[in-house]
Amino acid sequence: MALLLPLFGFLCGWGLASSQFSTRLKSLFASLLARFFIPVVIIYNMVFYQAGSLSLMLFSFVVAVLLFYFFLALSKDQLRALCFSYVNMAWLGFPFAIALFGPEISAPMVALYVGGSIFGNIWAVTSVSSDKQAISDIAKKVMQSPPIMALILALICRILGVQHFEQHQWIDLIYSLAKIGMSFSGMCVLGMWLQQTKVYKKDLLRSSRVAILKLSCGVVLCGLTYWLIPIPNIEHYIGVMFLLFCLPPAANIVALETHYQGTGTSAKDIASGTMVSCVVVMLYAGVLHFF
C-alpha cells in the first residue's frame, strides 16, 4: 500500500496534466500539501515527540549549508549551489520516505524537513536576489513559513498537555488522513509537472553528474554523522537521512529566480534533476530491499 499510493498519485497527476483544470489543480494540491497536510504531520509528531528529532533538524540544516558552500566553491554560481543543496522535501521527500520506510518514518522525516525548510527560507531568497536582504525580513519570512508556524502550534499543544490525552483517536485519524493526502498530493503534483516539462539528453547527463557528486557527499556526511555524532536511534534513521542526498532541487527555486532575476534557468536543472532522482530513489529502494 505504501508503494501503490505514491504511484497512483503520480499516474493521476500525469493524466490530469492534459486537462483544462491542470494549472488550478496543481496550485490546489501544492497549497494543500504545504499549508495543511505537512503542517498537520509536523504538529502531530512534535506533540508526540520522539527522541532525536532536534538532532535531525540540525543535521538537515547543517548538511544543506555545507552542500551549498561546497558546490559554490566549485561552480562560483549561487543559483546552482542552491539547486545542489535545497532539496524537494515536500513534494517528493515525504512520499518517497513513506514508500521506502513505511508510515512510521514520519517523525524523523518531519524533523529533517523542518531543518531543510529553515535553510531554504534563509538561503533561497538571498541566493537569487541581487538586493541584500535585511536580517529582520529574513527572520520574519522564516517565522511566517508553514513549518515554523506548525512548530509553534505544536509547542502550544504540548504546553496545554495534549500529549497526555488518554483518548486521542480522532487526532490519530486526522494524522493518518494527512499522511495519505501528503503522499498522494505530492506525487500528483510531480506527475502534472513532469508531463508538461521538456528535458533533453544533455540536461539529464548534467543532472546525473550532479547526482553522483551529491550521493558521494551523502556517503561521507552520513558516515561521519553515524560514527561521530550521538544522535538517539540513529541506526533506525540513517536510511532516511541518506535519502536527503537522493532528492532533486526544490521546485520553488525557479519561482524565486523568476521573481527576483526575471529568468528561469533553474527549471531545466529542477526538471532533469527530478527525473534522475526518481531513478536514484528506485535504485536506493533496490539496495534497501537487497540488504
One-letter amino acid identity for 289?
H
Q: Closest Cα partner for 34 from 285, 282, 251? A: 251
Name the residue ranges covered by the structural domains of the chain: 4-11+19-290
Reported as a single tens digit per residue, the pLDDT across 79-134 is: 899 999 999 887 788 888 988 898 888 888 988 998 988 898 788 777 777 666 67
> What's the pTM value of the predicted model, to 2 decimals?
0.83
pLDDT in tens, 169-213: 888 899 889 888 888 888 888 788 777 777 888 999 999 999 999
CATH architecture of 4-11+19-290: Up-down Bundle (1.20)
pLDDT above 70 (res 8): yes
The confidence score (pLDDT) of residue 238 equals 94
User: What phi, psi does 247 have (nearest 5°)?
Assistant: -85, 155
Poorest-confidence range of 24-33, 147-156, 208-217? 24-33
Q: How far apart are CA 256 and CA 78, in angstroms?
A: 13
Cα separation, 204 vs 208, in Å, equals: 6
Q: Which of 266, 276, 290, 286 is closest to 92 using CA atoms?
A: 276
What per-residue string of b and e applies to 71-95 under the rule 16 or more CB within 10 Å gives b?
bbeeeeebbbbbbbbbbbbbbbbbb
